[in-house]
Amino acid sequence: METLHPRYLRPSLLEALTDTRVVFVAGARQVGKTTLTREIAAGEHPMTILSLDEAATRDAATRDPGGFIAELPGPALIDEVQHVPELLLEIKRAVDRDTTPGRFLLTGSANILTSKRVKDALTGRIETLNLWPLSQSEIQGGQTNLVDALFARAPVQLDGCTVGRDAFVPVVAAGGYPEALVRGGARRERWFESYIDSTLDLDLRDISDAIKIEEMPRLLRLLATQAANLLSYRNAAVRLRLSPETVKAYVGLLEQLFLVRRLNAWRPGLGAREASTPKVYLTDSGLLAALLGADETRIARDDQLTGRVLENFVAMEILKHLGWSTNRARLYHYQRDREDVDLILERADGQIVAIEIKARTTISSRDYKWLIKLRERRGSQFSAGVVIHPREQTIPLGDRLWALPVAALWA
């Protein structure tokens, strides 16, 4: 088998199988989990391949989870494990008896490890890797990890890049789902409609039985209108006629399905006035565009939409780069009084990278004044600050500050 695009998570996955008993590849439906893991199970790490999407296999696992696991002849790939979560405790017992690394490779379209019982049982035995929709680096063959480059204070030097909204509108509208990429126009819109309906119907029932399924499409569309903004559960509750607690729980379920992502506020301890409210993002810009009913023309011309869609796109591309970065960092947003920085990357040693995102071709010092303030406050712990916008070339803005073309995300 050959993948249409290389997956940059592959080396990390193969490495995990060499020293970890259970490896869990989690991600939304149709992002390529099955293709990637089956290639590995048929090649570099031979395994028995089982799919719980197949009715007969799922029925056998449901009837006797212990016997199902006990009868496996050796290492096994179990696809879509969220259909029979009872298997996870049996897998725990199996890997406690035989601690050989690479015993089980699991995939799931829902993050069932949010269950405390399962998470506690598998602690120390499992490594989870998130597979997102294709990044632009994977689509276009980029070789630079922007997270690593920025922590190294060596952003990629580019020149001759496309200027203006043509630099990002087509890639933002298309997104990174492999099936959506081969479609365009109305056919892509229809694919996303079907994808949303089937994902919410199939996977929500696996992770929660206390949910009004009919409310979820409305909530998902509402979150799309709030993408890259602070998330107010109270305001969403008023619009949906639900309680704030219910909205928060439902957003958590959509996050378990890898359809939305909340970014927590960065709280560096500089004062008590930093915002603590999370921002919400759709995990794929093509999905976001479909939910908003926005084609390339509207994304390019609707100024109220353009900046928000671009910020959502950049945030998720950075999240994907983190998946194969050599720097282990967390992604946040930051607000303090009037200060507002779109994205903050922070390593465990306190080193930070600050990122501003602008849809305008030209920028002024006002666009990076908060980056300068952060640099002054953090001193040597400030690795880099960048403004990502649709310009032609990389230019320095001062000590450890740069303006980067959008294309730096797939250089």
Closest CA to 283 of 257, 249, 247: 257
CB 9 within 8 A of CB 131: yes
DSSP-derived 3-state class of residue 265: strand
Instruction: Give the CA angle between residues 191, 197, 200 to the nearest 5°.
Output: 130
224-269: per-residue pLDDT in tens? 999 999 999 999 999 999 999 999 999 999 999 999 999 999 988 6
Domains of the chain: 10-130 (3.40.50.300), 136-410 (no CATH)
Sign of CA pseudo-dihedral 131, 137, 139, 141? negative
CB count within 10 Å of CB 29 equals: 19
Per-residue pLDDT at 316 exceeds 80:
yes
284-308: per-residue pLDDT in tens? 999 999 999 999 999 999 998 999 9
39-94: per-residue pLDDT in tens? 999 999 999 999 999 999 999 999 999 999 999 989 999 999 989 989 999 999 99
What is the per-residue pLDDT for 100? 95
Q: Where are the alpha helices (DSSP H) in 257-359?
A: 285-292, 296-301, 303-323
- Return d(Cα 9, Cα 137) in angstroms, integer: 12
196-208: per-residue pLDDT in tens? 998 888 788 777 7
Give the list of residues 6+ apart from residue 194 with CB closer than 8 angstroms, or none. none
Beta-sheet pairing, 352-357 with 104-108: unpaired
- Return d(Cα 388, Cα 383) in angstroms, integer: 16
DSSP-derived 3-state class of residue 185: helix
**Number of separate helices (H) and strands (E) present in the chain:** 18, 14
DSSP-derived 3-state class of residue 56: helix
Token match 């409609």: residue? Answer: 193
Percent of the chain with pLDDT over 90: 84
pTM as predicted? 0.93
361-396: per-residue pLDDT in tens? 999 999 999 999 999 999 999 999 999 999 999 999
For 10, 105, 282, the CA distances from 7, given in Å and listed in that order, are: 6, 17, 21
Q: Which residues pair with 336 in a beta bridge?
A: 274, 339
Sign of CA pseudo-dihedral 346, 371, 337, 226? negative
